[in-house]
Amino acid sequence: MNKEDITRQLLHELEGEKESFILHLRVDLDWDHTHLVKVFKLMVKYIQQLEPTAPLERHIASGFWFFTNFVKDWSSHDNFRSRNAYPELYYQGMYELIFLLTDWYFSGECPFVEPEAFEQEWNRLTLLLKEETQ
């Protein structure tokens, strides 16, 4: 996937366009774990292709900031949680991943020694989710 495709797909998600994770979260009160992991993968790819000294694009920065705050605020409400009854540990882990990805974007410093640690973490949370829903 080239830089333009990554940027276009990430903006689609961050701006809450049709069929985006954030739109389903807001309108349908639906937490789609698989879709959120796809958003995480886009975030990682986007951040990895940035030039370290290049200025941040305001519309992407705004999207990261909004995504980080909105997802946690919206999905923390009791009415949302009653429809998406996942373990608190799972939600906290996913919020932490969103925060860490956003921090990496703004600071330029990956919070892990290896960026692959993000994938290990969302895989760990996927397993937690599967164990809890069986």
Q: What is the pLDDT of residue 16?
A: 95
The predicted structure's pLDDT at residue 71: 97
For 32-48, what is each residue's pLDDT tens digit? 999 999 999 999 999 99
Q: Residue 38 and residue 43: Cα distance in Å, rounded?
A: 9
Mean pLDDT across the chain, nearest whole number? 93
What would the pLDDT profile of 46-66 be if each residue is shown by its tens digit?
999 999 888 999 999 999 999
Amino acid found at 131: E
Contact 29, 47 (CB under 8 A): no
Q: How many CA atoms lie within 13 A of 8 on its CB side?
A: 5
Distance CA 132, CA 15 (A): 31
Mean pLDDT of 85-109: 95
Phi-psi region of 81 (alpha: psi -120 to 50; beta: other; left: phi over 0): alpha
- Compute the average pLDDT of residues 14-22: 96
As a whole number, mean pLDDT of residues 86-113 equals: 94
The C-alpha angle 127, 130, 132, rounded to 5 degrees, equals 110
Where does residue 29 fall: left (phi above 0), alpha (psi -120 to 50 degrees), or beta otherwise? left
Report residue 29 as tokens: 């009160």
Residue-level pLDDT at 38 = 96
C-alpha span between 8 and 80 (Å, rounded)? 29
Cα separation, 93 vs 103, in Å, equals 15
